[in-house]
Amino acid sequence: MTTADATTEAGRDFIRDIVQADLEAGRHRTVVTRFPPEPNGYLHIGHAKSIALNFGIAQEFGGRCNLRFDDTNPTKEEQEYIDSIQTDVRWLGYDWGSNVFYASDYFDQLYAWAELLIRNGDAYVDDQSQDEIRETRGTLTEPGKNSPFRDRSVEENLDLFGRMKAGEFPNGARVLRAKIDMASGNINLRDPVLYRILHAHHPRTGEAWSIYPSYDYAHGQSDAIEGVTHSICTLEFEDHRPLYEWLLSKLPVPSQPKQYEFARLNITYTLLSKRVLTELVRGGHVAGWDDPRMPTMAGMKRRGVPPAAIREFVKRIGVAKANSVVDVGMLEFCIREELNRAAQRRMAVLRPLKVVIENYPEGQIEELEAINHPDDPSAGTRKITFGREIYIEQDDFMETPPKKFFRLFPGNEVRLRYAYFIKCREVVKNDAGEIVELRCTYDPETRGGNAPDGRKVKGTIHWLSASHSVPAEIRVYNQLFANSSPSAATFTADLNPQSLEVLTDARLEPEVAAGNWTEPMQFERQGYFVRDKDSTSDKPVFNRTIGLRDTFAKEVGGKS
């Protein structure tokens, strides 16, 4: 994406106003932002807002955005996540160039600065357990209590910290804490933990370290080392900013970044908690991190969501200081708008009902012309084959229709898209009383869909030739949660039992089923679809990205 693209996409918001003012005042010559994911999971739609903001600001103002992995917890981090995060950021349309960094790049410097804090009386080794530290931290209305180890000598603290680094003590035996103020009104300043003991293999440093810095400690110092000018975080880090600034003021860091907070993304019918997403995968509620029902970048990509739609969605919701919930309908609108513009049209019959056109000559076939995109003449046309036996959608026929049902029923005439008028003459049922076939007649004078005598029909339905269509599996995806405000605590109770419907007998146009078709497309009257990675030459598999209109809220009856 070019700087011009970024400028076009960027709206105005309070963070961009801050950046603009800083540049105009000469406080910075080059804007440097960063996107700091923890490599212990897959990115989701909430991260897209941060990615677009950080990379977008850097591009708009001619600066750079660093991709920095917060790899400070080796017990949860894997190379798989590092690889997936880089793939997802690129897919979304952004690139960091050569500016990829890791918190582990700075472990030696962070350790040296921790020793400096100890020498200056600003940090100490605490032997209390995690539970004891939590119990003595106090509450929002009561101050905390000083640790009995708070007044250790500098020499003893340096010795113990060195032995922690050397791996002499077991996990949880000791921590390094900042010495700030246990009576502070901000709990984050009540002697926060800077280092903890973790005997674990690190993906990049192996067994070199037995202690690892906390995110609060690594965050600001990493920003300073990289020359980050604007460290943009979500709103939950607002109370951490005083600690961010305290650490920068106590250490000889090469620069003084500033932290700014914005509201994180919350969407109806969606949970973005990493814990919940992990449990959805581990509990088998979905088929993996890239399940198309998941709000992960990988899941949305597999579902066929265009990255341009996500960027447009993020632009539309803007950047605010107060948390709010965005209606998922806005995201769906952006997806439909982008796909309507870009996706070619094809026909597919998802739930086939066989139709025999009795007065059409047996063995005869003909080719009809169909347009590929109604709003894009340059997309051209294609040939579709018509014959005596075709398939239509089951719900395009009713034996006893209600009023205003304008599709096919006994005695009624409808238009076959691009083809002829047909009229239903007979309904064929099996022994169970199920409709298995329709017997119809056609008017050969209506080729192309119009009657020379001027008669009109109210219904137009799509179809496919029985002998010139290809069987396929279609996966129809809906919202994963049936509740517009699902609970993270009891999320399984809010799961939508109709979030996935697998149709194994669908029919497609042959060129769509061919393995070289990978672009999203609109199946006329059905929605937007994309080929799934499970697809093979013998068994095409397509995912529904989204329907042509929002029917889900009506189907669940406005449940909330």
Mapped onto helix, strand or coil, the DSSP state of residue 21 is: helix
346: tokens are 């094809």
Mapped onto helix, strand or coil, the DSSP state of residue 122 is: coil
39 known ligand binder = yes
- Cα distance between residue 421 and residue 418, in whole Å: 10
For the chain, state the CA radius of gyration: 30
Taking the CA atoms of residue 13, residue 16, residue 21 and residue 22 in that order, the dihedral angle to the nearest 10 degrees is 150
- Determine the length of the chain: 560
390 known ligand binder = no
274 known ligand binder = yes
- Cα distance between residue 289 and residue 274, in whole Å: 11
273 known ligand binder = yes
215 known ligand binder = yes
Residue 543's nearest CA partner among 477, 479, 492, 489 is 477
Neighbours of 252 (CB within 10 A): 7
Pairing mode, strands 123-126 and 175-178: antiparallel
The one-letter code for the residue type at 504 is T
- Cα distance between residue 390 and residue 375, in whole Å: 28
Residue 346's nearest CA partner among 538, 474, 535, 534 is 474
93 known ligand binder = no
**Distance, CA of 429 to chain centre:** 45
Reported in sequence order, the residue ranges of 343-404 that DSSP labels E, i.e. its strands, are 344-346, 348-349, 352-357, 365-371, 381-387, 389-393
222 known ligand binder = no
45 known ligand binder = yes
- Cα distance between residue 323 and residue 344, in whole Å: 38
46 known ligand binder = yes
- The DSSP code sequence of 194-211 is EEEE----BTTTBTS-SE
Contact 32, 63 (CB under 8 A): yes
49 known ligand binder = yes
Residue 149's nearest CA partner among 133, 171, 166, 131 is 133
The one-letter code for the residue type at 560 is S
Show which residues are catalytic.
38, 264, 274
- Cα distance between residue 491 and residue 485, in whole Å: 10
Contact 59, 1 (CB under 8 A): yes
Residues annotated in a binding site = 38-40, 44-50, 70, 215, 234, 264-265, 272-274
Residues annotated in a binding site for ATP = 38-40, 44-50, 234, 264-265, 272-274
Residues annotated in a binding site for L-glutamine = 70, 215
